[in-house]
Amino acid sequence: MRVVACDESGSEGEKLIGGETDVFAHAGVLLDAGAAEECLRELRRRIRSPAVEYKANHLLRSKHRAVLVWFLGPSGPIHGRARVHLTDKRLFVANTLAGVLGRDAVALHRAGRRALGSATWTDLLASFNDLVRVKNRQGTAASFFARVEALRGAHEIVDELVLARPRLEAFRGRGLGGAMPFNPLVPALIRAVEYWGAEYWGGEAVSIVHDDQTALTESVVELIKARTGLREMRFVDSRDDARVQVADFLAGTARKIASEELNGREDEELTALLRPYVDERSLLSGYSGV
């Protein structure tokens, strides 16, 4: 059985639009405790910060760029032993909406931005996000459909949403009563088990050591196990597990690199260095690292 250490960056629960981050990253590393501890010692030696706990933001400082290049590079400590799944949060919401409408997510997202403008489309997705969140506030359904009605006639997508109200209401009802949270962490974790088990190790059983995460309740973990064959999931404080700290470094730096590119500030060198780690099923339209 292989033990994979995982951590995330950019998690804001089920609020996916209008928060602090626009990209969610979930990383897994396959290092034993000794190798992970040696990685942290080397990072400390190179960074030379007095901080008690090192985080990804230490690597992202411009004065430590050479350390980040080493960490991600082919001679670095995680090359060939790590994977990161990236999610554009807006596309994640659009993907859910596309599923209800029976459309392709990327095509819907691009068409929505083009037809309504980025701000209006994002506002509509944010309203839909509120509609389907488990911790849904009263009145969000009325708010979402009022926005749709106000845009009626603006584009065929909006007219389709008007006609799809019964399906959207039914989906909302199922979502509010379901066990799986509306959170990109869950599909990213399912994908991690698929990759490290069936794809990377030819079907060998996978155990995951994960940083404490409130979204991963006992019932959610059991559903993930039933869907993927995950053998075990154990939660730890990242400060107590060097392997999880290394996963945190990868998740945090990957999220920032991807977010910069999505917002038109691509760093070609870092994008190229990150590319070998990025899962090909990442939900991140337009990112050249996928």
How many Å apart are CA 71 and CA 120, to the nearest integer?
Answer: 39
Task: Report the side by side order of strands in the sheet with 206-211.
Answer: 82-88, 23-29, 2-9, 206-211, 232-236
Q: With a cut of 80, say whether residue 282 has pLDDT above it.
A: yes
Q: Are residues 60 and 192 in the same domain?
A: yes
Q: Are residues 171 and 187 in the same domain?
A: no
> Is 70 domain-assigned?
yes
> Is 122 domain-assigned?
yes
How many Å apart are CA 72 and CA 277, to the nearest integer?
Answer: 9
Q: Are residues 22 and 161 in the same domain?
A: no
Q: pLDDT band for position 173 (50/70/90)?
A: low
Q: pLDDT band for position 178 (50/70/90)?
A: low
> Is 74 domain-assigned?
yes
Other CB atoms within a 10 A radius of the CB of residue 63 amount to 8
The answer, as to whether pTM is greater than 0.75, is: yes
Query: What's the structural domain count of the chain?
Result: 2
Q: What is the average pLDDT score of the chain?
A: 89
Q: pLDDT band for position 284 (50/70/90)?
A: confident
Q: Are residues 65 and 209 in the same domain?
A: yes
Q: With a cut of 70, say whether residue 66 has pLDDT above it.
A: yes
Q: Are residues 84 and 185 in the same domain?
A: yes
Q: With a cut of 80, say whether residue 209 has pLDDT above it.
A: yes
SS3 for 234?
Answer: strand
How many Å apart are CA 163 and CA 279, to the nearest integer?
Answer: 36
> Is 288 domain-assigned?
no
Apex 235 CA angle, 20 and 40, nearest 5: 75
Q: With a cut of 60, say whether residue 145 has pLDDT above it.
A: yes
> Is 73 domain-assigned?
yes
Average pLDDT (69-92) is: 96
Q: Are residues 95 and 77 in the same domain?
A: no
pLDDT score at 290: 41
> Is 84 domain-assigned?
yes
Q: Are residues 273 and 205 in the same domain?
A: yes
Q: pLDDT band for position 51 (50/70/90)?
A: low
Q: Are residues 83 and 94 in the same domain?
A: no
> Is 289 domain-assigned?
no
pLDDT in tens, 179-198: 677 899 999 999 999 999 87
Q: What range defines the domain where residue 118 resides?
A: 89-177
Encode burial over 177-203: b for 16+ CB neighbours within 10 A, e otherwise: eeebbbbbbbbbbbbbbbbbbeebeee
Q: Are residues 157 and 262 in the same domain?
A: no
Picking from 156, 177, 198, the residue at the C-terminal end of a domain is 177
> Is 282 domain-assigned?
no
Q: Are residues 61 and 33 in the same domain?
A: yes
The CATH number of whichever domain residue 204 belongs to comes to 3.30.420
Picking from 123, 150, 177, the residue at the C-terminal end of a domain is 177
Q: Are residues 83 and 111 in the same domain?
A: no
Picking from 144, 177, 210, the residue at the C-terminal end of a domain is 177
Q: Are residues 125 and 67 in the same domain?
A: no
Question: Where would I find the beta strands (DSSP E) of the chain?
Answer: 2-9, 23-29, 82-88, 206-211, 232-236
